[in-house]
Amino acid sequence: MELIEDIGILDNTKKEEHCEVRISKEGDIAAAKKLYIESYGCQMNFSDSEIVTSILKKEGFDTTSSFESADVILLNTCSIRDKAEQTVRKRLTQFNQIKKDRPEITIGVLGCMAERLKSKLLEEEKIVDLVAGPDAYRDLPNLVRKAEEGDRGVNTFLSREETYADISPVRLNSNGVTAFISIMRGCDNMCSFCVVPFTRGRERSRDPHSIVAEAQELFNNGYREVTLLGQNVDSYKWSPEENNKARLEKNEHANSIVNFANLLEMVAKVHPDLRVRFSTSHPKDITDEVLHTMKQYENICNYIHLPAQSGNSRVLELMNRTYDREWYINRVDAIRSILGDECGISSDMIAGFCTETEEEHQDTLSLMDYVKYDFSYMFYYSERPGTLAAKKYTDDIPLPVKKRRLQEIIRKQQEISFARNRQDIGKTFKVLIEGTSKKSPKQLQGRNSANKVIVFDNNDFKKGQYVEVKVNECTAATLIGEVI
C-alpha cells in the first residue's frame, strides 16, 4: 500500500506526512456532538476514516475542523514506521493538554497503532480513552459511550469477514472529483519488515456488486475518478459460494469466481468517463490478464504502483517478498510489452535492510536504471517490533550508512524522474482537472493517465472536466503545459 508519509520523489497528489483529514460541514447543528478526525499513513487509513465518520454520523455526530471545539478526537494511525508513531504521540500530547481544561473530551486512537499498542496507550501511558482496531469501527459508538461514562473502551478484534461493504463512506476533505473505494482488507503476505498482517488481519475480499454500486453512486454524484484500494489488489478473489453471499444478478460473472481483472472490467463499465486507478499491486501476483484488461479499456489508467523494496534477490528473500530480481524484471517487461513505455510505474524502496551489502545496494540502483520509475516512495529500514525481521534478524546497518544509501536512491530517482518527464515535452495528454494548483490560484492541476501531475493556466475550466494539455516544460515532479 502506498504511504502518504514519504521521502523523496513523491506523487504530488498524495498528502504529506501526518496530513490531517478534516472536514467542516456547513450548517453545523449546535446540539450535535462534534467529531474531529486525523489520518496518518497509507491511503487505506484515509479511506477508513471516511467509514468511521459515516458510522458516527448515524449516531448524531457532526464533523469539525477545530479539535479545540470537538467532543471526540480520533487519530487513525499508522505503524509501518517509527516516525509515524512518534508523530502520533506528539499529537496525543497536544490533545491531552486541551483535555486538562475540558476533561469531558474523548480521545481515541484507531487503526494499526491501536492494534499494536492498545495496552500501553490505555493502561501504562493513559493518554487515550479508547482504542479501536481496523475491524472494530462498527463498535465505535459503544466505545465512545463507555469512555464518556468513565470506562476505557477497547476493541481490537481482528475479523476474517469484516469489509464494511454496506457502509457508504462520508467523503472527507473531498475535491469532489476523485475518491477511494476499498475492495479488500487485510493481508496474507508475511513480508518480514511489515506489521500490516498483524495489525489488519487476514485478507478478505469485498462483494464486487457493492464495489460497482459505490462506483456508480460516486459517478452519479459528479466524481470522475476512483482508486480501488487493497494491500494487494491483484489477489482480490470473490465467489458467491466461498464468500457465502447472494449471487450477483445481471452480471456475466454471477456464477463464477471474480478475480481482480474481472473486477477492473466491471468498474470500468460503470461509465467511460469514470477513470479507474488501483493500488497496490504485488509483483508476485500481477497477471497478464490484468494488463490486457487495462489495455482494453481507455478509462483504466495506464499506471501501476509495483513495489520492489530491493533490487537484490538475496535481500528480497530475507524480506520474504516471495519473488526475486528476475521475476520482478519479467513483470516489468510484461508491462512495457503490453501497455507500452508510456505506462507509469512507481515503486517502494527500502535502503539498509538487515545485512544488506554495498554490492546489494548497487543492485537496487541498477534495478531503478532498468525500470525507469516515474517516481518512488523511499525509506531507510526501520525495525518494527513484532515483525518477522525483528525476531529473526539483527538490524545491523549503521544509521549513517542507511541515510547515505537512501540519499543515493533519492538522487537516482530524481534523475530518472526528470528524464522521464522530459520525454513528455511536446506530447499532449488527456487530463482530469482536480482543482487549483498548490503554488498559484491562476493555475489548475490534474493528472494524466500515467498519474503524472500536470499544471496549466486557469482559463475558466472546471473541476471534473477533461481537457487536452500539451506539455511545454517540466520539473522532476511536475509537467507544465497549456490546454489545446
* pLDDT tens-digit profile, the chain (484 residues): 544 433 333 333 333 333 333 333 333 434 589 999 998 888 888 899 999 999 999 999 999 999 999 999 999 988 777 777 888 889 998 999 989 989 999 999 998 888 777 777 777 668 899 999 999 999 999 999 999 998 888 898 888 889 999 999 989 878 999 999 999 999 999 999 998 888 888 999 999 999 999 999 999 999 999 999 999 999 999 987 666 544 444 445 455 899 999 999 999 999 999 999 999 999 999 999 999 999 999 999 999 999 999 999 999 999 999 999 999 999 999 999 999 999 999 999 999 999 999 999 999 999 999 999 999 999 999 999 889 999 999 999 999 999 999 999 999 999 999 999 999 999 999 999 999 998 888 999 999 999 999 999 998 899 999 999 999 999 999 999 999 9
Residue 233: partners with Cβ closer than 8 Å, 6 or more residues away: 183, 184, 260, 278, 279, 280, 281
Q: Where in the chain is the domain with CATH 3.80.30.20?
A: 178-422
Question: Do 387 and 197 meet the contact criterion of CB atoms below 8 Å apart?
Answer: no
Is it true that the peptide bond before 280 is cis, omega within 30 degrees of 0? yes
Cell numbers linked to 233: 489488489
- Angle (CA) 6-10-12 rounded to 5° is 120
Residue (of 24, 369, 361, 390) closest to 174 by Cα position:
24
Task: Answer yes or no: CATH 3.40.640.10 is held by domain 178-422.
Answer: no
What is the C-alpha R_g of the chain?
22
**Where are the CATH 2.40.50.140 domain residues in the chain?**
428-483
**pTM more than 0.95:** no
Please compute, for residue 223, the number of CA atoms within 13 A of its CA located in the half-sphere on the CB side: 21
Q: Is domain 33-155 given the CATH code 1.10.357.10 in the classification?
A: no
Q: Which amino acid is at 136?
A: A
Distance in angstroms (rounded) separating the CA atoms of residues 394 and 386: 13
The DSSP string of 383-446 is: --TTSHHHHHS---S-HHHHHHHHHHHHHHHHHHHHHHHHTTTT-EEEEEEEEE-SS-TTEEEE
Instruction: Give the CA distances from residue 23 to residues 164, 171, 413, 439, 458, in Å, rounded to whole numbers and listed in that order.
Output: 21, 9, 35, 22, 26
Residue 47, C-beta contacts closer than 8 angstroms, at least 6 positions apart: 169, 180, 181, 182, 229
| Continuous segment of H or E residues that includes residue 205 | strand 204-205
Beta strands in 40-183 (DSSP E): 61-63, 72-77, 106-110, 130-132, 153-155, 178-182
With respect to CATH, is domain 428-483 assigned 2.40.50.140?
yes
Q: Which positions ≥6 away from 286 have C-beta within 8 Å? A: 234, 304, 306, 331
Q: How many CB atoms lie within 10 A of CB 250?
A: 6
Please give the Cα distance from 229 to 240 (Å, whole number).
Answer: 21
Helix (H, G, I), strand (E, B) or coil at 140: helix
Sign of CA dihedral 174, 178, 184, 189: negative
Closest alpha carbon to 114 in 23, 195, 35:
195
Residue 166 DSSP code: T
How many C-beta neighbours within 10 Å does residue 150 have?
A: 7
Residues of the chain with CATH 3.40.50.12160: 33-155
